[in-house]
Structure 1
Amino acid sequence: MFRLGKLILICLTCIIATTNSATSRKNVEELNEDNWNRMLTGEWMVEFFAPWCPACKDLEPIWSDLGDRKRELGINVGKVDVTDSPGLSGRFMVTALPTIYHVKDGLFRQYKSPRDRDSLVNFVRSKTWIKVQPISSWKSPTSIQMSIISQFFKMSQVLRAIHTKLMEDFGLPTWGSYLIFAIATIIIGAILGLLIVCVIDFIYPPKPAKSQNYSRKGKETGERKDKNSDDEDFIENVKDDLVDEEGSESGKEPEKSEKSEKAPEASASSPNARKRKPRKDD
């Protein structure tokens, strides 16, 4: 009879403990990449943890107690397993575990105070979070750039799983797996580069070759015209110099006849006489 009563007592204790643990789990909401945007409404305290983290295991009973007090404090308490949701670890830039965030109406503040019960409760009850500078809009988890970073974190998790599968299931050595990744990276980079070039050519198409040839021809003809005009001026200047020299030589010989004296005067006064053009400055 005594053994039966002891057995019943143990069963009741186990049932109560299981009920309490289930209640605590309900009080602490599990968030992931599908429902993480729930923390954008209201006030939240969110923990980022990993099952293998010793510090996270030490914080677990304290965090469960905070979940039990969420109605008293008027907040929501959640937690994120970074091994199941690697994208959120990149979105929130989680570099150490455990990492705690306070979220109020879409404003994110990182909790860096002691992780005991009293400190966590006073942080919420006394509104100490007001003194903490919120994360800038550039690093906000809701920004576009952080969404892109979260996709890279997801991709890294997928690549790690592929690497593990190649080594365990197919028996490839480590260097063989890395070689496959290197070749795939080169091929993907070449394809992306080709796509980028095609997009640039579509947005900014190159000028047609005919118009370029016409413009070159126009420049060449213009240069030829300028060169011809310069040659003509040079020839005219040479002719003027020859005329001046002939005139000076004829002046040296004295002329006795009156006809020869009158000839220059007549040539100067005649309208058909060629006038000397002023020389251009070199």
Structure 2
Amino acid sequence: MKLQTVLIGLFAVCNANNIHKLTDDNFGKIFEGSWLIMFYAPWCPACQSLKSPWEQFASKNLKDDLQIHVAEVDVTQYPALSGQFLIFNLPSIYYIQNGESRQYVGQLDISAVESWITDGKWRETEAVASWRSPNSFIMRSVGKFFHFANQMRVLKNEMTEHYAIPSWIVYTIFIISTIIIGLLVGLVLVCLCDCLCPPKSHQYEMKPEGEENEVIDEEEDDDGEEDGEEDGEDEEEEDKDAEEEEENTEDEKRRVGEEGEEEESGQEEEAKDGEDKEEEDDQKEEGEEKDEKGEQDDQKEDGKDTEGGKTEEDEETTQEQMQEGAIDNLAAGDDQQLRKRKNVGNM
């Protein structure tokens, strides 16, 4: 049993020696050559289950001479390194080839990781963008921020656990200190701006009594010349703008004049068409009136003819009646004479 435990311990030591422990000090060496890095935490169950296969892969790598450096990072001890890689899931495996980093996305199986490396499948994985590279200025700044946040967390735990200070008091202290630090930083920036860009200096010249003191600017002449040049340029630009405006107004006037002429010609044509229509209507009305008058005259003539015919017929009938009456009268007279003669004869 003792021999077995000794062999296991020696095996573990050998495996541990095959794995590089990365820290803030030796982190820069990963950007040369090929590196396979695992980010883990001691409290992570998945990390603990992958630890033994990871050590076996490191020993196999050393034996097969794959020329790959196997390393690991404890994020609880070195949060700045996890910040530079933006580690949000544990365990996370990165493969770095000559400064280009690629994240392994697949099964957390050491055989799958080994085939991803040896078969060249890592080339199919898109490399991390340059601005997200762990060696870039942005990601190093993020790492510093992670380190500062971790230090503040440690300080908070120490104040609450060791000194038994309530949490709300600790947070109040942090808030007040943040405001004070911000004000101090702002004051320093204002002072730097005043030193680097000082305001213009003025000299005061005393004049005789009865006249007010005037402020003489040291750079008045230079400013006047610059203002004169700027005014000249402004005047030229204004003249150009005025000429362009005049041209535009002339063009608009021409367009308006042409449109007005077209409208007038259109109105004249419409007026002529209206007059022709009125003349035609007048002619039609005159023709209708003449037709009506002709019809009325014809009716009058017909009436006269009918009246004339009636009068002639009446005259003829009266004459006939008069003749008949005369004949009747003569016949009656003859009858009376005959009767008288008969009466005389009888006597």
Corresponding residue of 1:145: 138
Residue matched to 1:195: 188
TM-score (norm 2): 0.57
- Give the structure 2 partner of residue 33 of structure 1: 24
What is the deviation of 1:214? 4.8
1:125 counterpart residue number: 118
Q: Which runs of 5+ in 2 are unaligned?
A: 205-213, 222-347
Secondary structure (helix, strand or coil) at the match of 2:130 reads coil
1:209: Cα distance to partner? Answer: 4.8
Task: Provide the residue aligned with 2:75 in structure 1.
Answer: 82
Pick aligned residue for 2:156 from 163, 168, 172: 163
Q: C-alpha distance in 1, partners of 2:10/2:53?
A: 18
Structure (1/2) with the larger helix percentage = 2
Structure 1 position 180 matched with structure 2 position 154: no
Deviates more, 1:66-75 or 1:147-156: 66-75
Residue of structure 2 aligned with 1:100, choices 80, 89, 93: 93
Residues 195-225 of structure 1 show CA distances to partners (whole Å, capped at 9, x for unaligned) of 111122222222235599557x99xxxxxxx
Give the number of equivalent residue pairs: 209
Q: Counterparts in 2 of 1:1-282, with a 5 A limit? A: 10-71=1-62, 72=64, 73-209=66-202, 213-214=215-216
Structure 1: runs of 5 or more not aligned? 1-9, 219-282
Separation (CA, whole Å) in 1 of partners of 2:145 and 2:186 = 19
Q: CA RMSD in A?
A: 2.1
Whole-angstrom CA distance in 1 between matches of 2:215 and 2:141: 46
Letter in 1 for 2:166: P
Alpha-carbon distance between aligned partners in 1 of 2:92 and 2:203, rounded to the nearest angstrom: 64
Q: Offset of 1:29 from its aligned partner?
A: 1.3
Question: Over alpha carbons, which structure has the higher Rg?
Answer: 2
Letter in 1 for 2:169: G
Q: What whole-Å deviation, never above 9, does each CA across 1:225-269 have from its counterpart, x for those lacking one?
A: xxxxxxxxxxxxxxxxxxxxxxxxxxxxxxxxxxxxxxxxxxxxx
Query: Which deviations, in whole Å up to 9, do the C-alpha atoms of 1:24-60 show, x marking residues without a partner?
Result: 1111111111111121111111000000011111111
Aligned equivalents of 1:135 and 1:163: distance in 2? 35
Aligned-partner residue type, residue 144 of structure 1: F
SS at match of 1:158: helix
Q: How does the TM-score come out when normalised to structure 1? A: 0.70
